[in-house]
Chain A
Amino acid sequence: MKKIQGLSKAELKKNIPYYVLLAPFLILFTVFMLVPVISSIILSLTDFNMVQFPNWVGLDNYVRIFIDDEIFMIALKNTLVYALFSGPIGFILSFVIAWLINELGRATRTIVTLCVYTPALVGNVFFIWQYIFSSDSAGFLNNILIQLGVTSDPIYWLTDTKYNFWIVMIVIIWMSFGSGFLSFIAGLQALDRSYYEAAALDGLRNRWQELYYVTFPQMGPQLLFGAVMSISSAFAVGSVNRALTGFPSTDYSTHTILLHVTDYVDNRYELGYASALSVILLLMMILSWAIIQKVLKKFND
């Protein structure tokens, strides 16, 4: 027993202050993060409906989700497409912008940073896009198109299934320059200049080589952090769709797993089923994190 590091009596006593300092956070973290995640895994195996005592149903919910639930398939497809586009695009654009402004003067850098970061900073002001894509002929975009003679009738941007999916995508990407972006800028600023000078002496020929051989390897930790942030926002798509295209959207064209979960909780009270949906979403996030971690680590070696 005494062999386990830090578990002997003397050690424990010495460490009491650390546990005391950690306690408030640990309690909150356990109650509002660990317990919910673990209990939703357990509830996903039951038919809990908030009224009756839950019965154990095994994997029934999951079977129902994948075999019977056609709307889930739409939600799954939409969530994946949103994540696969907005995640990488937000991630790569964040890095490209950070890289480009890295050598600009301090004032210019601050202005561009502020411009690009503000949409993420002001959060739910995104509803303003509703007026830009208003289906009215006086809507911002419709008005321009009509005046330019591109179209004679106003386009129903937010309800027409041809357009609304990609409009939501644009707004999600618009909001995706958050703390990952800040991390890239700060990381690039703090890079060790001497590496660049050494690399230049070693015969680096152009900026692409410099980016690949000098910048990327040093930016590994920031890239990983940015990836986590991208996953966090790319899979949690839902509130933008709901606010812009309505709930449910035309033919579920912008329906996502998160909205599907809300639907089953708010309207059908099927908490067991909704928990199973949540677990699937969390698993997708963890899986993509594992993949990205592998890819970035390999890239950095």
Chain B
Amino acid sequence: MISNNLLLGDNVMSKIVKLYRTIQFNHRVNKRVNLSRSFGGTLGIFIFLVLISAFMVLPLVYAVIQSLKPLDEIFAYPPRFFVQHPTLDNFRQVLVLTDNLWVPFARYLFNSLFITITGTGIYVFVSSMAAYPLAKAKFFGSSTISILIIWTLMFSGEVTAIPKYIVIAGLGLVDTQWSVILPYLSTTMGVFLMRQFMVASIPDSTLEAARIDGANEYQIFFRIIMPSVKPAWMTLIIFAFKDLWNSGTSAIYIYSEELKGLSAVMSSISTGGLGRTGPASAVAVLMMIPPIVIFLYSQSSVMETMTHSGLK
């Protein structure tokens, strides 16, 4: 019974065989002939990679499957892993469940979008502006600031949430969406990655030439720097998007239901026990689609940027 449920389809098997062949092929064309791997070694690596990928993805696949199950299949005993009669009922159910809350679903969605888009936009802009002088100029304080940025790379998010509370309260930001956006703008990952990218990809001679032509620093920043660091923008966009979109835990200072985002819906539905598995999984699926899509779209830019992420 169980093996039936968990058995992979033929389709998947044939893909695995194909994947294995490409690994072998890549080894054959490898120029470092004296470092070739044994058949057993290749097989071992292949199995390891498949296992680890399965471990990583299975919970997410499980969420997708649960979100498509009708109620009787979620409660079926013994439960089946795969869905027999897929339905979108759970997604409709999310709307019904949020109707019973005070605020309509669209409001949560709007709040999430507002926090994410506003925050991401400002983050990319502010980080790029700060990165240019740090990458390309020496002035009083520049090296101190650079060192501080690296040291605070690890203080992102929750570790400083409580200390931040005092400032947030002092500025009267409690119970506003700015209590999520503004603290996020102070995290240094954006400036760091942007600076590294500028150091590596923009030659000083270009800037010198522009200065000789009479461009001032602002013109250089907007006309030369910004257009040539697009991969770094894309990277900052996906990083900021994922952090702000998932900002359930840092949204602890928003108390009004009508200001909360989708993660609030997710946590209130998911605490409803097994009976809520379907709708909770449906929200989870809705939550994970945007970051995955944006990452897929921007992943070559991300890789290009992360090449320069090293700490020297």
Contacts and interface: CB of A to CB of B under 8 A. Distances in A.
Task: Place the interface of chain A in its size category.
Answer: 35 or more
A228 interface: yes
A152 interface: no
A124 B132 CA distance: 33
Given A122-B291, A182-B306, A224-B310, A127 B266 contact: yes
Contact of B304 (A22, A186, A261, A278): A186
Contacts of A35: 167
A21 B284 contact: no
B267 A97 contact: no
A116 B52 contact: yes
Contact of A147 (B78, B160, B249, B307): B78
B168 to A, nearest CB: 8
Contacts of A236: 157-159
Contact of A121 (B27, B152, B242): B242
Task: Place the interface of chain B in its size category.
Answer: 35 or more
Contacts of A265: 162, 165
A138 B75 contact: yes
Interface stretch (B91-99, B109-117, B134-142, B201-209): B134-142
A32 B287 contact: no
A33 B295 contact: no
Interface in B267-287: 267, 270, 274, 277, 280-281, 284, 287
B129 A24 contact: yes
B140 A210 contact: no
Given A24-B130, A243-B267, A134 B274 contact: yes
A103 interface: yes
A210 B164 CA distance: 46
A125 B63 contact: yes
A101 B49 contact: yes
A210 B22 contact: no
B263 A124 contact: yes
A29 B186 contact: yes
A224 B281 CA distance: 37
Interface string B1-24: 110000000000000000100110
Contact of B310 (A24, A183, A274): A183
Given A28-B185, A32-B167, A103-B27, A224 B311 contact: yes
B255 interface: no
A53 interface: no
A274 B162 contact: yes
B186 A33 contact: yes
Nearest to B168: A32
Contacts of A210: 32, 35
Contacts of A291: none
B78 A143 contact: yes
Given A200-B32, A204-B35, A125 B185 contact: no
Contact of B216 (A17, A110, A126, A137): A17
B171 to A, nearest CB: 8
29 contacts: A4-B140, A11-B140, A21-B130, A21-B217, A21-B218, A29-B188, A32-B186, A33-B155, A33-B188, A39-B166, A115-B56, A118-B57, A122-B288, A147-B1, A147-B2, A182-B303, A185-B306, A204-B34, A206-B35, A222-B309, A232-B154, A236-B157, A236-B159, A239-B249, A258-B158, A265-B165, A271-B166, A285-B154, A289-B154
Interface of A: 4-7, 11-12, 15, 17-22, 24-26, 28-29, 31-37, 39-40, 43, 93, 97, 100-101, 103-105, 107-108, 110-119, 121-132, 134, 136-140, 143-144, 147-148, 174, 177, 179, 182-183, 185-187, 189-190, 196-197, 200, 204-207, 210, 219-222, 224-225, 228-229, 231-232, 235-236, 238-239, 243, 258, 261-262, 265, 271, 274-275, 278, 281-282, 285-286, 289
Interface of B: 1-2, 19, 22-23, 25-27, 30-32, 34-35, 37, 45, 48-49, 52-53, 55-57, 59-60, 62-63, 66, 75, 77-79, 81, 126-127, 129-130, 132-134, 137-140, 142, 145, 148, 150-160, 162-167, 171, 182-183, 185-189, 191, 216-218, 221, 239, 242-243, 245-246, 248-249, 263, 266-267, 270, 274, 277, 280-281, 284, 287-288, 291-292, 295-296, 299, 302-307, 309-312
Closest 10 CB pairs of A and B: A221-B310, A123-B246, A36-B163, A25-B130, A17-B217, A32-B186, A18-B133, A186-B306, A40-B163, A115-B53
